[in-house]
Each structure stands twice: as structure tokens, then as C-alpha cells.
Amino acid sequence: MTSHRPTSQPDSTDQPFASASGKAGSGKGVQRQDEIYRAISDAVIEHRLKPGARLREDALAEVFGISRTGIRKVLQRLALEQLVTLTPGKGASVTRPSAEEAREVFEARRLVESGLLAMLTRRITADELKELRALAGEEQQALQEHEQSVAIKLSAAFHNRLAALAGNQTLARFVDQLCSRSSLILAVYGHAGNLGCECSDHNQLVDLLQAGESEQAAIFMCRHLDSIEASLSIDDAPEEAPDLRDIFSAYQ
Amino acid sequence: MTSHRPTSQPDSTDQPFASASGKAGSGKGVQRQDEIYRAISDAVIEHRLKPGARLREDALAEVFGISRTGIRKVLQRLALEQLVTLTPGKGASVTRPSAEEAREVFEARRLVESGLLAMLTRRITADELKELRALAGEEQQALQEHEQSVAIKLSAAFHNRLAALAGNQTLARFVDQLCSRSSLILAVYGHAGNLGCECSDHNQLVDLLQAGESEQAAIFMCRHLDSIEASLSIDDAPEEAPDLRDIFSAYQ
DNA sequence: TTGGGCGCTATTGTATACATTTCGGGGTGA
DNA sequence: TCACCCCGAAATGTATACAATAGCGCCCAA
């Protein structure tokens, strides 16, 4: 009964946006898989799927109305971006970043994002500044309305857009990945009500950009990321491998 | 007759190092796929597979003695690292980087690698310096013996090792990818005898590292990468999409 | 002889079947 | 009562079968 499709009944009702015919169809297929990728990715970034959550292929295949083949492709992609971890013989689960990984991600972001800001001050336009301000505003509003998952996504969107505007897609994609992983790190090491980014930081950053203070903006970005990292409680092995021998050594 | 396996006869003779049983075997399977990944990746980096070369799934499956399923996994991974391009309905081919892409890769490398050097001067040990010198020496030797493909790989290995020693695996992996893509860029836009890296540059870089001149080392790295980029002949559309409308505009 | 339509072959895209591994339960023996 | 082993269910890993598509040459007509 593992069959993910009743075969006697079309499942168009299961997933209203499932690729109509249910059979092959290459052109649309990749598009569909892209949707699924984004769906899972968003769920992870918005903390609807928490680190450690198992992602069974059969279950996902049934939910999205495609076969395991397509799901595996999506999972592999997510694994290469380190959003999910693929343990051989065990399956996929949402990545639970290690403390070391967290340190690395923020170090990388400081290096890359501050560098991007320097490039950005030379080429940004008034319209783009306005767009960034709008994003920062939306984020702040979501935060005030306690829409945490929306705020998390908008915060990442701000950083992403910043990277994209610097005119280097390669770096922008890297920043995208780092932002996604940051969201995972926040999920593991962040405190409950803490979004990571301070409310007003992004607006101040836009101010510096507008003033053309590239040095100051870069420094501010480093501080911004530092403060996020500092707000985390990163202890080396929080829960992932409770060493009972060590914990109960007094009773042995 | 497209069947890539006679089915009546075990093909263990086709590939002496093919995963023994020829059937399933998860634990070893991923290891095997990793080998295949590296085999193709190396071939691309060493210019044995040139940009634009088609990579048919059946052919690869037969060569490596596994089914198309495994090959597709490897190709997808290569595609995400932008070493191969996956055109829907058409298949895989070695990526032919655009001029814009080339610019981006070198810009990214300048930013990241110079930043890594700054981190590196604070933590590098004498042994590690010796190792880097050895790598630079090997590279120079290969270059003198006109072993171009070996030299290319060693050059990338030098930059990779540099990144790894900085103690940030996330950034090191990114640099790895950028180096691989650089090799592709050299294959398309580089001149025949030009390796990219100047012979003595890497040695000089180690000198600066050893002296603890982090600022100077970072500047030198930027210049180093600049000179590689400058040695390329990047014209916007060399051969990939000859815009006939533009070329023959006088006749229209 | 050329231009356009058509069918064929080669190749990719997707689904499914089967082998293998892992994890948990229960039973047996010391 | 505890430890160990074996077995079975569930899930993954791999291969193969089948459907659809793209490329290409052929044929036919003007």
C-alpha cells in the first residue's frame, strides 16, 4: 500500500496545481519540480519545517503528486545547497547546522556582503534604493504584526536583493544560499522571539547606501551580521548527540 | 538495440572497477558515484572535455558501468556547480561560460580570495607554508614540462588549498567551484599556451604570507587575478551565438 | 531544384519494479 | 532479567520499462 496514487481515481483533487496529465511532459516537468523545490525551500526557511525533520520520499511524492524520481531530484538539489542532509540508507532530513557551520556561514557573509556593498554604492540607482526601502518597511511591518515566518523571508529577501543589485549573479546566488542557511541556524540557535536582524538596521543600511558612504556601509553590514551572530546561543553540542556517558558520569 | 547492457551476460569485465555486484548496494554506491563525479569533473577542469562537448547519458552509463539513474545524479550535481549545462529535452553538455559569467567569476574570486588571505595570515603555520610552496613548485615544474593539463589542475589545487587553510569550509567550497569555472573560462577565452597563472606569482604570494604581510598579500592576489583576467580575450559573443542579423545588417 | 511537411530514430523525462538496507519487536537462552 | 539474535516491516538505492520530445533526413510537390 505504499503506492502513492490510487490509479483507479485521478488525483487532480489532491493537488489542484499538479501537472495536469499526471504523466510525462518534459517541458512542464522541470517547471513543476522547480515549484516543489521552492515549496520545500520556503517551508524550511520559514521554519515550518524544523531542523532535523525527516523528509520521506514517499510522503513528499504523494503530497506533490509526482513519483519518487522527481522528489529525489529536488532533494538532491536541496542537499547540495545544504538545506537538507542526505544520509545514505537513511534518507533526507532538514539540516541541523553545527556550531562550526554557523560560524562559517556568518564569517562568509561578513566577507561577501560587505564587499558587495562597496560595489553597490557605485552603481545603485534611486529606484533601487526605493525598492530596498520598501522591502525593509515590509519586513518591519511583518515583525510588528508578529508574522515571524513572513518577516524571516522578507529579511532574507532584503539581503538577497542587495546582492542581486550588485550586478554579480554568481555572488548573489552564493549570498542566497548563505541567507537560507542562516535561517536554519536561527532556527537551531536563535531565541524564540528573535528574528535575527534588528528592526531598524536595514533602514539604516539604506541610508548609508544613499549617502554613498561605501566604507561606512560595509562596516555597518559587518556589525549587523556580528550582532545577529552574537544574539545566538551557540554551544557546541546542544542536543544533537547527547553523550549520556558524560551527562550521567556522576552516577556511574 | 539501445539497451546498454546485454542482460544475458554480467558486465563486470567492461569496467574492472565497477561496483562489484553490478546490482544495488547503497553504501558503496554513493562512493562510486563520487568517483564518477570526480572523473568527469577532472576531465572538464583539465580540458580533456572541452566546453560545448555533449555528455550523453547512455554513453556515460556504459563507460562507467552503471545505469542512467546514477549518471543523471552526477550530471545534476555538476550542473548545480555550473560545470555542465542541462538543457531540458536536449541533455547535458560542458558549460560554455559567457563573457558576463567570466567577469563575475573573477570579480567573485578577487573579493573572496583576497579576503581569505587576510584571514589566513593570522593562522597559517610553517608546515602549511611549506606545503603551499611544494604545490607551487610542482605547478611550475609541470608548466616547464609543458604538461598543461597537470599544471591547470595544480594551479587550481593551489588556490583551493589556500582557501581550505583559512579554516572556513563553506568559503573553501565556493572557491573550489570558482576555480573549476575559471578553468572552463580559460578553455574558452584563453590563448593556447597561456595557463592563466603566471609562473612565479604563487611563490611570491607564499613569500608575502610568510612575511605576515596580509594587506600586501591581499593586494597581490587581486593583481594576480586581474592579470589572469586581462590575459583573456573576452569578446562578447565569440562563437556561441553568432548573431546573423547583426553581422549581415548591411545586407538587410 | 528548392521548399515545406512528415515520419523516423535517437535521446531524454518519468514512473515503476525490484534488491538492499535499516530499524524495531519479540523470542530464546543463559 | 538482561543480552543477543533473528525476523519482518518500512524506506531507500538502483535499474529498467515506457512515454514524449527533439533532430534529421526523406519524400513529394511546385
pLDDT of residue A249: 56
pLDDT digits (tens, 9 = 90+) for B156-211: 999 999 999 999 999 999 999 999 999 999 999 988 666 666 768 999 999 999 99
B20: confidence class by pLDDT, cuts 50, 70, 90: very low
The amino acid at residue B120 is: L
Footprint of strand C on the protein (CB under 7 A): A 3-5, 7, 22-26, 28-30, 32-33, 66-70, 89-90; B 2, 21, 23-27, 54-58, 68-69, 72, 86, 88-92
- A-chain residues near B89 (CB < 8 A): 26-27
| Cβ of A23 less than 7 A from strand D | yes
CATH of domain B99-231: 1.20.120.530
Please report the pLDDT score of residue A27 as a whole number.
54
- What is the least distance, in Å, from the CA of B6 to any CA of chain A? 25
Measuring from the CA of residue A54 to each C1', which nucleotide is nearest?
D11
CB neighbours of A182 closer than 8 A, spacing ≥ 6? Answer: A105, A106, A109, A156, A196, A228
> Which part of chain A has CATH 1.20.120.530?
99-231
Contact B72, B30 (CB under 8 A): no
CATH class of the structural domain B26-94: mainly alpha
Using a CB-CB distance cutoff of 8 angstroms, which residues of chain B are in contact with residue A180?
none
Show the cell assigned to A60: 513528499
- Interchain CB contact of B31 with A (< 8 Å): no
Contacts of B152 (CB under 8 A, 6+ apart): B45, B46, B47, B183, B186, B195, B196
What 8-state DSSP symbol labels residue A70? H
Per-residue pLDDT of chain A (252 residues; tens, 9 = 90+): 333 333 333 333 333 333 333 333 345 678 899 999 999 999 999 999 999 999 999 999 999 999 999 999 999 999 999 999 999 999 999 999 999 999 999 999 999 999 999 999 999 999 999 999 999 999 999 988 888 888 888 999 999 999 999 999 999 999 999 999 999 999 999 886 666 667 689 999 999 999 999 999 999 999 999 999 999 988 765 444 445 455 555 544
Listed in order, the ranges of chain A carrying CATH 1.10.10.10 are 26-94
A56 touches strand D (CB under 7 A): yes
